[in-house]
Amino acid sequence: MELPKKLDTNNKVMITVAPVGSYPTKKDNPNLPITPEKIAIKVYRAYNAGASVVHLHARNLETYEPTADPAIYRAIVEAVRERCPEIIIQLSTGTGAAKLGLSPEERIEHWVRREGLVPEPLSYSLVLGVIGGIPATVKNLINMVDALPEHCIWQVIAMGRFQIPLGTVGVIMGGGIRVGFEDNIYLSRGILAKSNAELVEKAVRIIREVGREVASARDTRQTLQI
């Protein structure tokens, strides 16, 4: 299979939904799902709206604090698979790495030191707008894309109010987009999103307005060769 080119706008757009995250709270948005069953329901609705990948975090069911408890993750995965067997599940490793005190460099050391461990096409997430990270600007996004290898898959993950604007730029350039409460809890200025599915629906409208197509879960599996 021919490897995808990073600026190929003929490729269908992969939408990832990140429905929980580590930072948003029920106080921030009462629609935030916490329990495995509620997360599964929200993922199913996001999948029906157009998401082909789900990025999952887990919360302690009593304190609502982020957790790396394997039992809770297992319960979430099982609930999601039962309701939505086609969606591609991506589990966060951030909470566990943070609890172990690993630096970003230590988290990826075993990947970058073992050439060929991860088969092509490589997939990149370009994260902008995190406090202390890369500022969420179009110029920075363009520079990040320019630094990627010619043949790869990539998506934009932009925080807060930058989620949709920079996600749109990424779509226009040939990338994918991630939406969801992990990164942004608002549908538009001052209006809380009622669900993650609403944010996926907004991404779908934008993708179609700029002349691209939305990737199904099957399309995404073919692109990622999984």
Residue 58 within any structural domain of the chain: yes
What pLDDT, on a 0 to 100 scale, did the predictor assign at position 112? 59
Q: Does residue 21 lie within any of the structural domains?
A: yes
In a domain, 43, yes or no: yes
pLDDT cut 70: percent of the chain above it: 94
- On whether residue 2 sits in a domain, the answer given is no
Cis peptide bond prior to 121, omega within 30° of 0: yes
Residue 206 lies in a domain: yes
State residue 2's pLDDT score: 72
Residue 9 lies in a domain: no
In sequence order, the 6+-apart residues with CB closer than 8 A to the CB of 65 are 59
Q: Please give the full DSSP string across 65-106, using - where no structure is assigned.
A: -EE--HHHHHHHHHHHHHH-TTSEEEE--HHHHHHTT--HHH
Q: How wide is the angle at C-alpha 63 spanned by C-alphas 56 and 99, nearest 5°? A: 60
| In a domain? residue 10 | no
CA 49 to chain centre: 15
Q: Name, in order, each residue with C-beta under 8 angstroms of 126's C-beta and a sequence gap of 6 or more.
A: 141, 144, 145, 154, 155, 156, 157, 170, 175
- Close Cβ partners of 41 (under 8 Å, ≥ 6 residues apart): 33, 83
**106-122 average pLDDT score:** 70
Let me know if residue 80 belongs to a domain: yes
Number of domains forming the structure of the chain: 1
Q: What is the CATH number of the domain that holds 107?
A: 3.20.20.70
Q: Can you give the residue range of the structural domain that contains 39?
A: 15-224
| Distance between CA atoms of residues 154 and 141, nearest Å | 11
Q: Which residue has the higher pLDDT, 1 or 118?
A: 118
pLDDT tens for 188-225 read 999 999 999 999 999 999 999 999 999 999 999 999 98
Tell me the per-residue pLDDT of 128-147, one tens digit each, with 9 for 90 and over: 999 999 999 999 999 999 99
Confidence tier at 93 by pLDDT (50, 70, 90): confident
Environment class of 45 (CB within 10 Å of its CB; exposed 0-12, middle 13-18, buried 19+): buried
Token look-up 């199904």 returns 216
The structure's pTM equals 0.93
Confidence of residue 91 (pLDDT cuts 50, 70, 90): very high
What mean pLDDT do residues 59-68 have? Answer: 94
Place 87 in a pLDDT band, splitting at 50, 70 and 90. very high
Q: Work out the pLDDT band at 114, boundaries 50, 70, 90.
A: low
* Residues 155 and 178: beta-carbon distance below 8 Å: yes
Strand 186-188 to strand 123-128: parallel, antiparallel, or no bridges (unpaired)?
unpaired
Six token digits for residue 78: 């099982």
